[in-house]
Structures are given as structure tokens and as C-alpha cells.
Amino acid sequence: MTLPLIGPENAVFLDIDGTLIDLAATPDAVIVPPELAGLLRGVAARCGGALAILSGRRLADIDRLIGRDFACAAEHGAILRLPDGTVTQHVQRPALYDHWLKVLNRYAGIMPGVVIEDKQFSLVIHYRQAPEHAAELQQLAEQLVAGADDAVLLAAHCAIEIKPRGGNKGDALAAFMALPPFAGRLPLFVGDDTTDEPAILEAAALGGTGLHVARDFSGSTQAVRHWLAT
């Protein structure tokens, strides 16, 4: 497809990992291009400030990677930072969160390469460095949430996330589109993972465009950044 041009009629929504920056062995090992924050500020200026980050990362991690200049949805929409800087929370931490964390850390201790990410509302099992454990970890995660009515599993690139039930990036995009300066614009969203599909669909449903890094940018984060710049 021909990539759309970003103009003043658009509201731009962007994932981070695998979209703006390359994936890494662990979440803390990513490398952020030094020009990225300035590039995003330039895009926001072209859209009258209507740019938001939609990420599965913690809010503090988003700020560490690209700064505090942007509205954002953290942890797949569990936390929203609105354009005026107000931070709102939309879910509760699952009741068995602390128990699950202990169990997962115990397994990670005997599975070299498995990393457990402890977020505010969600737990993520990363196995990029230990793909041979994928099936066992999937079974473990399913056993942990069996019978829990306040949590669901979310599959991602070489990761399994245990997250609160309800809410996704599509819901977050819709919430922003009801607020200035996003309201009345055509949404453009770019993501790379299964967790981004709800936002891709929501952008299209609202008359805009949802783009996928593998399908529309040949899997290249550099191509995404070049598109944003031009």
C-alpha cells in the first residue's frame, strides 16, 4: 500500500518497541536513536500536538526512553497521560499479582534467559533468550490465571503478559480521539505486535489508517522513522 502522508488533519498514535526502536534481548537493552525525541516533537508540531504513544511499557519507562513531552497510554491503556498532563488509571492490579510474581521469579531462577518484568498492573514473561521454554511457560501462565476473573493472558513477541481484564490499545486510542487536540482528526496508528491489532482496527473504524511494521514497513523501524520524518 501507499503510505499516507502525515498532515495537520491527522492524529498520530505510535507504539515504541518494534515500531520506533528495534526489539532487544531484554526490555532494558533497547537502543534509542538520539534523534527520536526530536523527530516525535516535529511530528506533533505538524499535527497541532495530536500525537500520543500507545505502549505496553510502564509510564516511567516511556518517559525514560523518549521523555515526558507526549500524551501516552502505558501498560496497554491501563494508565493514560492526557494532553494536559493528568494521569488516570483504568484498571486494578489482579488480586493474585504478588503470588504470581513469586512463582514466576522462582521459575526464572531455574530457566536461564527467562526474564520477568514487574510492571504496575501487569507481569510479563520474556523468553526471547530462551525460546525452548515457550511451551512450558505458556502452560504455566495458563495455570496461574485459571479461575482468576480479573486477569487475562496477552501474547506478544517472545513474551506472555498477565494483565488485568479489560482495556487495550484500541480503547486507549478511542479515549484520546474524544479529547482535544485529537478530536475531529483522522487517526494514524503504527504498531508491530498482536497487542497493537486492536488499535490498528480502531484507527480504521474511526476513518483513519492502522499500519503494521511488518506489513507496511518491511519490518524496519528505520523505515517507520523515515516515514515520520518525511
Q: How many CB atoms lie within 10 A of CB 60?
A: 11
CA dist 195 and 154 (Å) reads: 7
Which residues, listed in sequence order, are joined to residue 186 by a DSSP beta bridge? Answer: 10
Which sign, positive or negative, has the C-alpha torsion 184, 44, 17, 99?
A: negative
Q: Is 15 a catalytic residue?
A: yes
* Amino acid in the structure at residue 27: P
Q: CB count, 10 Å around CB of 130?
A: 17
- Options 15, 61, 171, 193, the catalytic residue: 15
- Quote the radius of gyration of the chain (alpha carbons, Å): 17
Give the rounded distance of the alpha carbon of 149 from its chain centre: 23
Cell of 8: 495537520
Active site residues: 15
